[in-house]
Amino acid sequence: MFSAQGPIGVFDSGYGGLTILNKFRELLPQYDYIYLGDNARTPYGNRSFEVVYKFTLQAVHKLFELGCPLVILACNTASAKALRSIQQNDLPQIDKSRRVLGVIRPTVESIDSLTQSRHVGLLATIGTIKSQSYPLEIQKLYPDIQVTGVACPLWVPLVENNEFNYEGADFFVKKYIGQLLSQDPLIDTIILGCTHYPLLMHKIRQFTPQHIKLIAQGEYVSNSLKDYLFRHKEIEHCCTKGGTCKFLTTESIEKFQESASLFLSEQIHVNSIILE
Ligand code: DGL
């Protein structure tokens, strides 16, 4: 029996998940959404498994408390380090009728039709690279695809500090792409495996050979959500449809409003919360 009726929860460690939320709202504007950014504790990328899991579970609890029947972890680091434990160990105890989904599986499913050389590159946070989630998922679905990953620890700070459009960013964009392509020159498709990276897209494009496809996740994750809601009517019926979007942050409201304006083209109403 499904009790919760409410908005779709979208969670990220910071602002990156807004790139995913935007695509949800473009493709599925009829639903209500709550975005939660743990801006006070971002970035998650260099944190341990235990810490990312603990923080992510706190966010899921909060979004459930606010009535969300479905929560999307719009963060690769949280999807890599916390999703499985939450789905397998926590959800059955918290509420069997609610769902938590991530962004890695929908991204992985998309690459089969994109790569011809079957050599795929992955750029992501240290946490996502170390977790091996992408190579493991890709191996399960498409064993003939070879994956090479490089961690880009400075890209999230460049985005979060609004330095991504300046020359200083060039050095670190070139550096990580160079590292990746020197490890496997046959790569023809690169997954941008962090929801912050679309903001660096034009710089990444500038320093990547033109024949290489760059995969930003938003489109694939939103298509996958649409498909999921179509296939799971029991969840879809619980998602309220008023077309609204609320924003929550663990940092100050002013800071969120200012930085979120880089990602969003509208004035937003934000509330500050504590996760514990
Ligand atoms: N946006 C998150 C991701 O997709 C990472 C940011 C962070 O390091 O907290 O991995």
Question: If you measure from the C-alpha of residue 220 to the centroid of ligand 1, how many angstroms do you get, rounded to a whole number?
Answer: 17
238 included as an active-site residue = no
> Is 75 part of the annotated catalytic residue set?
yes
**CB 12 near ligand 1, within 6 Å:** yes
Query: What pTM, to 2 d.p., does this model score?
Result: 0.95
In the predicted model, residues of the chain with pLDDT beneath 50 are 1
Distances (CA, A) of 132 to 89, 114, 196, 258: 21, 21, 19, 34
Which pLDDT score, from 0 to 100, does residue 275 have? Answer: 97
pLDDT value of residue 258: 87
pLDDT for the residue 261: 83
For residue 112, CA distances in Å to 120, 133, 150 come to: 10, 17, 20
Atom of ligand 1 nearest to the CA of 45: 8
What's the confidence (pLDDT) of residue 4? Answer: 76
The predicted pLDDT at position 3 comes to 61
Q: What is the pLDDT of residue 133?
A: 96
**How far is the centre of ligand 1, averaged over its atoms, from the C-alpha of 265 (Å)?**
22
Q: Cα–Cα distance between 102 and 100 in angstroms, integer?
A: 7
